[in-house]
Structure 1
Amino acid sequence: MPTNMTEIRDFVMRERELALSEREWKFRLRGYGYDIRNTDEGTVVTSLIGGREICTLGAAA
């Protein structure tokens, strides 16, 4: 399981490449305890436990 922001970002984007749709991507990430939210600052990876923001994905998402 990824432990720092760079590893989490890489993991999330790798899962995006494997998913056929944004819906599937989000579903896959929920299985690992992550969620994707669109905010004014951009796309953000959050933790399902506690809902805290972990990192932003930038334009790549």
Structure 2
Amino acid sequence: MFAENKLTENMEEIQAFLLKERDKVLSDAEWRFRMRGYGYNLRRTDGGIEVARLPQNKVLGTFEM
């Protein structure tokens, strides 16, 4: 998916993008909504934040927050 205007599958780049965008919003709900606009579905799990690509909902990875 796209992170910082480039197509990437690199989870480190995606995580950096997601965290940078998280700093711009006030709540987790707003952040998840905003990321859906970029084509990412975020879900909290016991292991951290699970990141999936939309519309297939293919899991790209998980990171701790």
Same fold (TM over 0.5): yes
TM-score (norm 1): 0.82
Taking every aligned residue pair, what percent have the same amino acid on both sides? 44
Q: Name structure 1 gaps, 5 residues minimum.
A: none
| Residue identity in the other structure for 2:20 | R
1:9 matched to 2:15: yes
Equivalents in 2 of 1:20, 1:5: separation in Å?
24
Tell me the number of residue pairs that the alignment of Structure 1 and Structure 2 aligns. 59
Q: More helix by proportion, 1 or 2? A: 1
Q: More strand by proportion, 1 or 2? A: 2
Q: Which residue of 1 aligns with 2:61?
A: 55
The superposition leaves residues 21-56 of structure 1 with CA deviations (integer Å, 9 ceiling, x where unpaired) of 111101110110001112343321111121111121
Q: Name structure 2 gaps, 5 residues minimum.
A: none
Tell me which stretches of 4 or more aligned residues in structure 1 moved more than 6 Å: none
Conserved 8 A contact 1:9-1:55: no
